[in-house]
Amino acid sequence: MKYKCILTALLITQMVFGQDKIKSIDSLLNTLYSKKRINGNVLIAEEGKIIYNKSFGLAHEISKQKLDKNSIFDLASVTKQFTATGIVILKEQGKLKYDDPVSKYIPELSFYEGVTIKHLLQHTGGLPDYMNLFEASFDSNKEATNEDVIQYFAQKKPKILFKPSKNWRYSNTGYALLATIIERVSGLKYDIFLSKYIFTPLKMKSTFVQKSKIPTSKIKNLAQSYIYSDSLKELVPTDRLREFNYVKMFAGVVGDGGVHSTVMDLLKWNTAIRSNKIISEEGRKEMFSPAILADGSTFDYGYGWQLDSNKVFGKVVSHTGGWAGYLTLNEQHLDNNKTIIILFNHAGSEVVNKTVRYLLYELPLPNPTNKKEIKLTEDQLNKVIGVYEIQAGMEFFITIQGGEPYASMTNQAPLRIYAENETSFFFKEFDATILFKMNENGKVEKLTFSQGEQKMDAKKIK
């Protein structure tokens, strides 16, 4: 349960340490953009003041509209920060308690005994992810809503994955249910509640909940999202690509996603959280505290925020999001009052916050690996793609994007991996490898991830 973010910083070997940090960051991002590895907006602030704010690429490929600081992105799972804060607001209003059973507000799910609001906030309730279940048995032509999620669970009663607090497993279900709890407790729709208590007070004029997450031309300044289609061999808008029908199926569910915003508004949001404008200092501290499991161990996830702490950067709270071509990150360095915000609208872009961290602190980057890459055939790459289970709540994903292999872990952005041979892959950014083991029939059974002395085995499940 002590796994940190294993897939760490992206390293551009041409970078020369010692440049002015802003020039170094700009050089890094321009290099990535020239290689089509990023497309979107990046904002960096220190002490609440913007020191870097730049757009890379287009908001719309057909009209050639350029991105700018006011471009609006679907935040995907970064939405969870707002949902969690909504719950904290209601708690501080005396309208609910973190230890309240979910069944108190959603009696349709009373058979899930012992699951509390706090379990949902910290992904320790053991509820299976509705997205996985819906892909298997929900009508893909229908736009699901939060009520559909509740009714599906109430009728089919999918088995709980583990007893509450026994383990940690990222679950979009929990945050969809939290959105419903916000509505039932406050008497306001989720989007109205967030607007009344967060967006309007903070003057986040370009931030709203889009109930249908399918991009629409009705949204002014929208950064259209794109996914690379392997069949068409080109970038295609996600709302027009048939092979991504799941976008429509999940479009009406909010709480786990749905908030749209800009880099400028997210800076206002971070400043408000830091200065306790929306919730109290006590509420903020609890929101940034790790989950405590039944055996006394902890997991570095608070209320809608991933947690990290080390001697170099101090305490860092963040969350990433990935949905239908959007890739997002909001990160605060609490001890050093720094902010990194990344909003991308091309699938396959790489969230580079950890490399930016080193440059922001004017520190040398990790040494690159000396391994040499070879080019594998499409058939060879197809053998390794899939989902690999490390342990309950933690999975490894090997995907192909634009004909290139990527690796990611649960709730982490994908990073490019490179083939040393048919079964051994490596990261150019840091000294880590992925070794695939095949059975006698030539099919991959498992992978082993190695970084330094740490090794993790993962069995292929899909």
**Active-site residues: which are they?**
77
d(CA 117, CA 84): 10
CA distances from 183 to 86, 149, 173, 188, 259 (A): 10, 15, 16, 5, 16
Residue at 285: amino acid letter: K
The pair of structure tokens assigned to 121 is 């906030």
Q: Are 310 and 64 in contact (CB under 8 A)?
A: no
Q: Tally Cβ neighbours within 10 Å of residue 187.
A: 9
d(CA 459, CA 447): 7
Q: Tally Cβ neighbours within 10 Å of residue 218.
A: 7
Q: Across-strand partners of 44?
A: 52, 340
Residue at 156: amino acid letter: K
d(CA 146, CA 334): 33
Query: Considering all CA atoms of the chain, what is the largest pairwise distance in Å, rounded to the nearest integer?
Result: 63
Task: Report the run of H or E that residue 98 belongs to, with start and end.
Answer: none
d(CA 214, CA 136): 21
Q: Are 53 and 263 in contact (CB under 8 A)?
A: yes
The pair of structure tokens assigned to 32 is 């990535």
d(CA 296, CA 360): 35
CA dihedral for 90, 92, 93, 98, sign (positive or negative): positive
